[in-house]
Structure 1
Amino acid sequence: MTRSTTLPASAGLVGAALVASLALAQPTLAQQRPPAAIQETMDIGDEPGRVSTEEVSITEGPYARQMVLFRSNEAPGTVVIQSAERFLYVVQGNGKALRYGIGVGREGFQWSGQVQISRKAEWPDWRPPPDMLQRQPYLPRFMAGGPGNPMGARALYLGSTVFRIHGTNQPETIGQAISSGCFRLANGDVADLYERVPVGTKVIIRHKATL
Structure 2
Amino acid sequence: MRMRFLGPIVMASALAFAALPTLAAPLPFQPSAPELEIDEQPGYVPPKEAEQLPDGFERQYVFFRTTEPPGSIIVHTSERFLYLVQGNNRALRYGIGVGRDGFQWSGLVKVTRKQEWPDWRPPPEMIKRQPYLPRFMAGGPGNPMGARALYLGETVYRIHGTNQPQTIGYAISSGCFRLVNDDVADLYGRVPVGTKVIVKHAAKL
TM range (shorter): 0.7 to 0.9
- For residue 164 of structure 2, the aligned residue among 143, 165, 170 is 170
Structure 1 pair 100–53 and aligned structure 2 pair: CA distance change class (3 A): farther
Counterpart secondary structure, 1:191: helix
Aligned to 1:79: 73
Quick one: percent identity of the two aligned structures? 68
In structure 1, stretches of 5+ residues that fail to align are 1-39
Amino acid at match of 2:126: M
Q: Describe the superposition over 1:29-76 as per-residue Cα deviations: whole angstroms up to 9, x where unpaired.
A: xxxxxxxxxxx987344321112699x975662100000000000000
> 2-side partners of 1:191 and 1:135: how far apart?
30
Deviation for aligned residue 1:208: 2.5
Structure 1 pair 57–203 and aligned structure 2 pair: CA distance change class (3 A): farther
Aligned to 2:64: 70
Structure 1 pair 146–52 and aligned structure 2 pair: CA distance change class (3 A): farther
- What is the number of residues matched between the two proteins? 171
> 2-side partners of 1:195 and 1:121: how far apart?
11
Aligned to 1:107: 101
Structure 1 pair 46–168 and aligned structure 2 pair: CA distance change class (3 A): farther
Structure label with greater radius of gyration: 2
8 Å contact from structure 2 (residues 53, 168) kept in 1 = no
Root mean square deviation of aligned Cα:
2.2
> 2-side partners of 1:194 and 1:184: how far apart?
12
Structure 1 pair 60–128 and aligned structure 2 pair: CA distance change class (3 A): closer
8 Å contact from structure 2 (residues 51, 164) kept in 1 = no
- For residue 93 of structure 1, the aligned residue among 87, 90, 99 is 87
User: What's the TM-score, normalizing by structure 1?
Assistant: 0.76
1:146 matched to 2:140? The reply is: yes
User: What's the TM-score, normalizing by structure 2?
Assistant: 0.78
Structure 1 pair 167–92 and aligned structure 2 pair: CA distance change class (3 A): same
Counterpart secondary structure, 2:187: helix
> 2-side partners of 1:176 and 1:198: how far apart?
27
> 2-side partners of 1:183 and 1:155: how far apart?
10
8 Å contact from structure 1 (residues 124, 153) kept in 2 = yes
Structure 1 pair 107–123 and aligned structure 2 pair: CA distance change class (3 A): same
Aligned to 1:183: 177
